[in-house]
Amino acid sequence: MSKRLLLFCSSLLVVFVASIALDRLTGWLVSSPEQGLIFPRNVTRHFQTPEFSFTTTTNSLGFRDRDFSQNKKVKTRIVALGDSFTYGWGVEANESWPKVLEQRLRASGLDVEIANLGKPGGSPRDYADIADQSIPMLHPDVVIVGVLQGDDLAQMDAPPPLISTLAQRHETSNAISRHDRLHRIAGWLYPNFLRIIDDQAAASATALTNEWRQQAQLLTTAFTTEEKARLDKLDTQVKDVFRLGELNPSLIYLGVHSPDYFLQTMDLNSAKTQEQISKMSEQLVRIRNAASQINAKVIVVSVPYGIYVSPASLASRHRLGFAVAPEMLTTNPEDDAIRNASQRAGVDFYEFTDQFRKAPTQQQFFYELDGHFNRAGHAFFAEALTPVVSRNLARPIN
């Protein structure tokens, strides 16, 4: 080996070792976001789909809101528990119903603040877990539990999400792509540099689309023959947005895997539904018990889902593959189930289905395909909640 080649190889080795050392130094200087109550603390992300664009920032305690001190500086503090409808998926933080409700209550002269503890994809089990952690920390006077019609009840016995299972299979399969192999090698050698790059990619506007597109590809390969046939029957627009990563793939998965997902929970006399109600009640009891430790009041509110209150939303759920029935817009078993669970748990319950059904613009309260509240939906729900919360604040908390 010539001296020149030896010198070149030695230089490469020095650079290689130095680069690894620099990566470790970067990891020491630039720490990963610390996990908070619900999310990593002080993280900003941007999400964009054809239906909406919004930015979300977590505070120092790890939830989507402004910073809250553990010592109250107002007369009344409220925490709002719930899923993505409470979190405000698709809208800015100040447009979510907890923050609009806060604005309305303050405008009426009440000295009150509301912490938005919504968690996308959450279920009553998550609400209880969050209550156990947050109530002793934030010391609220009132806890509002936003239970999403139908979906939260169905989740009481739902299996783990298929998408997560598929991702695990993909990671452990023998058919690992060249890109995956290179990514893993880079992760071993330069974990901190790679984390910074991945964090920057996750914060980009295209990150959600890329993630959903990959999940759609995994689902498409995992669907059974029967499910693929159902997928093929969906209209062209729905299939296109699904494959392009422009619609939450979990919606399509539910529509083709469990078409009767929403119809099942309407039969309150079935053993399955009764068991779901019992399980929901157990979680509400956990929240009530956590609140009782600091003498806080718990109220449960039924969060309207478009399939039960809006003809346009009912039609859009059908386009996604769900089986629907006309009585979904005229009967109230979805509220009766939550009321039953609340009564068993010994907490107050309020519903707003009729107000949504009678609103002249109710078809504009939900994103057409995504299905979440839009700005108008959050504002209308907050308006309906305002007198209910005001009355509860006028009563002694104990």
Question: For the chain, how many residues are written?
Answer: 398
Q: What is the pLDDT of residues 90-108, one digit of tens each?
A: 999 999 999 999 999 999 9
Q: Identify which of 330, 393, 356 has the alpha carbon closest to the alpha carbon of residue 140.
A: 393
Break the chain into its structural domains and give their ranges: 1-30, 33-398
Q: Identify which of 335, 333, 342, 336 has the alpha carbon closest to the alpha carbon of residue 280.
A: 342
Report the alpha-carbon angle 281-257-168, nearest 5. 85
- Cα 96 to Cα 37: distance, rounded to the nearest angstrom: 19
Q: Identify which of 266, 377, 279, 269 has the alpha carbon closest to the alpha carbon of residue 329.
A: 266
pTM, rounded to two decimals:
0.84
> In angstroms, what CA-CA distances link 33 with 41, 134, 208, 305?
6, 19, 20, 34
Asked if pLDDT for residue 178 goes beyond 80, the answer is: no
Instruction: Quote the pLDDT of residue 172.
Output: 41
Give the pair of three-digit tokens for residue 69.
Answer: 């001190």
Report the alpha-carbon angle 164-167-168, nearest 5. 90
Q: Identify which of 309, 283, 319 has the alpha carbon closest to the alpha carbon of residue 298.
A: 283
- Average pLDDT over the chain reads 85
- Under 8 Å CB-to-CB from 62, ≥6 apart: which residues? 34, 35, 36, 37, 38, 39, 40, 41
Max CA pair span of the chain: 90
User: How large is the average pLDDT for residues 119-139?
Assistant: 96
The answer to which of 131-135, 184-188, 226-230, 281-285 has the lowest mean pLDDT is 184-188
Asked if pLDDT for residue 18 goes beyond 60, the answer is: no
- Cα 260 to Cα 254: distance, rounded to the nearest angstrom: 9
Instruction: Quote the pLDDT of residue 396.
Output: 62
Give the pair of three-digit tokens for residue 228.
Answer: 């693929």
Q: What is the pLDDT of residues 23-64, one digit of tens each?
A: 444 445 445 568 889 999 999 999 999 999 999 999 999 999
Instruction: Quote the pLDDT of residue 394.
Output: 80
pLDDT band at 177 (very low <50, low <70, confident <90, very high): very low
Q: What is the pLDDT of residues 211-233, one digit of tens each?
A: 999 999 998 988 899 999 999 99
Q: What is the pLDDT of residues 105-118, one digit of tens each?
A: 999 999 999 999 99
pLDDT band at 17 (very low <50, low <70, confident <90, very high): very low
The CATH-assigned architecture of domain 33-398 is 3-Layer(aba) Sandwich (3.40)
Report the alpha-carbon angle 383-387-392, nearest 5. 135
For the chain, what percent of residues have pLDDT higher than 70?
A: 78
